Amino acid sequence: MNLAGNPLKRTQKLDTGRVRRFILPDRKIRVTQITTFCPDIIGPGPTHLYLIENDALVLLDTGIPTKLAKRFFYDSRNQIIPPEIEALPEDYSKQELLEGLHLAGHSIKDVDLLVITHGHPDHFLMGRWIVEQANCPVTAHALDTSDICNPWGMLEMWFNLRQRTMAMGMPQPKGVSDSNHFYMEDVNPESIGFSLKVDFPIMQEGLLTLNHSSLKGIEVKHLPGHSPGSVGLIVGQEGSEKVLLCGDVLLSPITPHPDDLLTYLRTLEKLKNLQDIVLALPAHGKVIRNVKARVDFLQKYHRQRLKITYKTCRKPCSAWDIATLPDYFDIAVDPSKFNPLAGNEALMHMEVLQMVQGLKRVSINKGVHLFQNQGEPFEEVYNRILDLVKDQRINPIMRY
Ligand SMILES: [Fe+2]
Ligand SMILES: [Fe+2]
């Protein structure tokens, strides 16, 4: 058994390119982690893909094409691309994947099934190319198929982001004005058609299936909150210790950004109750060797975020006022620069506080929504949030 992760190739520049093999306790299933380029600081850092060798060869996630990563993370936020990243070949991530497969003893054509953990660009945008090479089916949770399958999903996301981020009070990215006119320079809709056809939408938890047959030792868990259709795979045979491949649901040292904090807090509770998980292998950052401790940390982290958000709103605040507080977000936020992840982090905490009447929307000033607390002790508000997390019947009906 080798759960330490036997290196087949060490990291190269930019902390990417590593290939590591994990052999599960029953020795029947091998999991190979292949690390592909995705920028750090401005993005979540290199994306780990996982090759699961069992009765079938399953690839989990695809990474993002290097050309698109440069554009998506830097251009859109009006930031200069560092020279070492600008210099990367456009097919850098593809080459990393091909080399990882080779070191694991396979070619891309051997892949039997592509599973997408969730519909974020760093997880599926290289999928179309992989499917062309492997001619394999694709599966992902039904709730994220609108992001993965829609050829205009990226454009739709930009339009939606514009309205939401303006309401948060965030400065807008390059190519967006305050008027109703919207454009992005150089956008050729044909060139961003990176959508991926999902052949088998996941509708419920249970064993992963390929061509309608169950794959023993690979169980799908629905773990929403980072995205509606986030899934994790529990890999390992019945009665044996298992590994959780968790996508972006658990990360270390960065924290996953919830797109629905209430749902995410429920998922953390669910993760606490999973049995026999000895290791979590996430899509970015470090291997998580103590899953319960990481879940515990994340619960405390969100409690602290809720407290800071609540207390700062003793005077009317926008989501951007909160997101730009020193040390609020994982990384430093420049208040003058578009940063939808930072804004969303604050907004999700404000939403939950609003659901328990801890915060109220007191005005909308020039399109920016302002929220203020009601002067109660934070602990009373937080106890109501804990009750909300427990009561699965309650879901938001009016967002933002
Ligand atoms: Fe994600
Ligand atoms: Fe990610």
pLDDT tens digits along 57-82? 999 999 999 988 887 787 766 678 88
Query: How far apart are the CA of 157 and the centre of ligand 1, in A?
Result: 14
Calculate the alpha carbon distances from 58 to 188, 219, 322 in Å. Answer: 33, 12, 41
Query: How far apart are the CA of 113 and the centre of ligand 2, in A?
Result: 20
Using alpha carbons, select from 120, 197, 188 the residue that is nearest to residue 157. Answer: 120
What is the crossing angle of helices 261-272 and 378-390, to 10°? Answer: 70
Q: Specify the range with the lowest mean pLDDT, choosing from 184-193, 260-269, 379-388.
A: 184-193
Give per-residue pLDDT as tens, 111-127.
999 999 999 989 999 99
Query: How far apart are the CA of 145 and the centre of ligand 1, in A?
Result: 14
Starting from the CA of residue 257, give the closest ligand: 1
Query: How far apart are the CA of 117 and the centre of ligand 2, in A?
Result: 9
Average pLDDT over residues 203-218: 94
Q: Phi/psi at 267 (nearest 5 deg)?
A: -65, -40
Using alpha carbons, select from 94, 42, 96, 77 the residue that is nearest to residue 254. Answer: 42
- Has residue 159 got a pLDDT over 50? yes
Query: How far apart are the CA of 316 and the centre of ligand 2, in A?
Result: 33
For residue 218 the two structure tokens come to 């690979």
Starting from the CA of residue 119, give the closest ligand: 1
Query: How far apart are the CA of 144 and the centre of ligand 2, in A?
Result: 14
For residue 302, how many C-alpha atoms fall within 13 Å in the half-sphere facing its CB? 30
Query: How far apart are the CA of 292 and the centre of ligand 1, in A?
Result: 21
Using alpha carbons, select from 295, 309, 314 the residue that is nearest to residue 350. Answer: 309
Query: How far apart are the CA of 238 and the centre of ligand 2, in A?
Result: 29
User: Residue 246: which residues within 8 A CB-CB, separation 6 or more?
Assistant: 117, 223, 232, 280, 281, 282, 283, 288
Starting from the CA of residue 259, give the closest ligand: 1
**Domains present along the chain, CATH in parentheses:** 2-151+193-289 (3.60.15.10), 302-390 (1.10.10)
Average pLDDT over residues 31-58: 93
Query: How far apart are the CA of 115 and the centre of ligand 1, in A?
Result: 14
Average pLDDT over residues 358-373: 97
Starting from the CA of residue 44, give the closest ligand: 2
Using alpha carbons, select from 205, 207, 289, 202 the residue that is nearest to residue 244. Answer: 289
pTM over 0.95: no
Starting from the CA of residue 48, give the closest ligand: 2
* Identity of residue 171: P
